[in-house]
Chains A and B, each alone.
Chain A
Amino acid sequence: KNQVEQSPQSLIILEGKNCTLQCNYTVSPFSNLRWYKQDTGRGPVSLTIMTFSENTKSNGRYTATLDADTKQSSLHITASQLSDSASYICVGGANYGGSQGNLIFGKGTKLSVKP
């Protein structure tokens, strides 16, 4: 069964600190791994997309890593800001005949950045 699990479920850090969010996925046939940021009540916003051949991808202060052998991914946030408070969602993409429609979403890690 395709699934994506994230840890921790929630995290509180102080402004300016770094943090790392974890994701384990079971997605077959695996195509890509994505990270999204979702503010409460709003649509998710894409942070990174990695194919199975990519190990790391950065987007500003966000750096995602992918280990396709262990089926693990992480999202590292550097020098956190108050605006980073949100849910971060790991998403596994399955390859079905060219349709990326089969995206499997994790439940997210809720990050709170405190001043």
Chain B
Amino acid sequence: DSGVTQTPKHLITATGQRVTLRCSPRSGDLSVYWYQQSLDQGLQFLIHYYNGEERAKGNILERFSAQQFPDLHSELNLSSLELGDSALYFCASSEGGYNEQFFGPGTRLTVL
């Protein structure tokens, strides 16, 4: 158990809908990262937050947004969903800097 929690574990929705994925980092970790892993693809970095502020953006679509709250939990919002958005979405946390990232169990999103 990495200490990072993600909810929900599974999510099935229809095209055009909007969903919110939630992540709680390990106690004391200030950094939260979001990743997308499509079938048979490598993990793609989406976005990094540190202590409530956005620090880096990767291949994140404009339809996707994220935020980190004062209690350090983070939410990833996905809107106008398309079939291609079906993937595993992972959250990871770290103390910051170049420290090890601890990954959560992921949320499996299926868009029908």
Shortest CB–CB separation between residue A75 and chain B, in angstroms? 16
Distance (whole angstroms) from the CB of B12 to the closest CB of chain A: 16
Q: Mark A76-87 against chain B: 1 for CB-CB distance below 8 A, else 0.
A: 000000000000
Question: Which chain B residues lie closer than 8 Å to A101 at the CB level?
Answer: 33, 45, 47-48, 55-58
- A32 touches B (CB below 8 Å): yes
Q: Quick one: which of A4, A41, A44, A98 contacts B97, CB cutoff 8 A?
A: A98
Q: Give CA–CA (A103, B55) in the complex, Å.
A: 13
Q: Are A46 and B101 in contact (CB under 8 A)?
A: yes
Residues in chain A near residue B97, CB distance under 8 A: 98, 100
A46 CA / B101 CA spacing, docked (Å): 7
Q: How large, as a class, is the contact surface on chain A?
A: 20 to 34
Interface majority SS on A: helix, strand, loop or mixed?
A: strand
Interface segment among B13-21, B62-70, B76-84, B102-110: the answer is: B102-110
- A31 and chain B: residue at smallest CB distance: B98
Taking beta carbons and an 8 Å cutoff, which residues of B are in contact with A?
Answer: 2, 4, 33, 40-45, 47-48, 50, 55-58, 88, 90, 92, 94, 97-98, 100-106, 108
**Chain A residues packing against B (C-beta within 8 Å):** 4, 31-32, 41-46, 49, 51, 89, 93, 96, 98-108
- Other than A46-B101, A49-B98, A101-B56, give 13 A-B pairs with Cβ distance below 8 A: A4-B42, A31-B98, A41-B88, A43-B2, A43-B4, A43-B92, A89-B43, A100-B48, A100-B94, A101-B57, A102-B45, A103-B101, A105-B44
